[in-house]
Amino acid sequence: MSKAQGPIQNPKSKIQNPKSKIQNLMCLAVPGKIVRINENSDASGESSLTRTGSVSFGGVVKEVSLAYVPEAQVGNYVIVHVGFALSVVDEKEAEQTLQYLQEMCVS
């Protein structure tokens, strides 16, 4: 442990930065709309764990792993965390979450 950085805290709750201010950390999963799916399949034709897709986050399109949501289709909204779609969500719920995030950025 470096004396300049201070003690290491639990990364799931708080960290101590070099200026000795304690900050809360939060992991954020964000809804995005699937605009394209890359059907990567293995030799047997079965969808593999490398299934990916292009997901739009308010116009910003990122490549996302769809391995955890084999049921996901183009047009579905998915909750994405660190590049992995974790679940398919209702369009209304996704849009409401995006609206809340937008309001947080404006204020």
Q: Which residue has the tokens 């937008």?
A: 102
The pLDDT of residue 87 is 95
Contacts with 32 (C-beta within 8 Å, 6 or more apart), sequence order: 55, 56, 57, 62, 64, 77, 78, 80, 94
Tell me if the pTM is above 0.75: no
The pLDDT of residue 97 is 86
> In this predicted model, what pLDDT tens digit does every residue of 14-67 receive, in sequence order?
445 555 455 666 677 899 999 999 977 555 556 668 899 999 998 899 999 999
Of residues 35, 96, 100, 40, the one with CA closest to residue 70 = 40
The pLDDT of residue 6 is 45
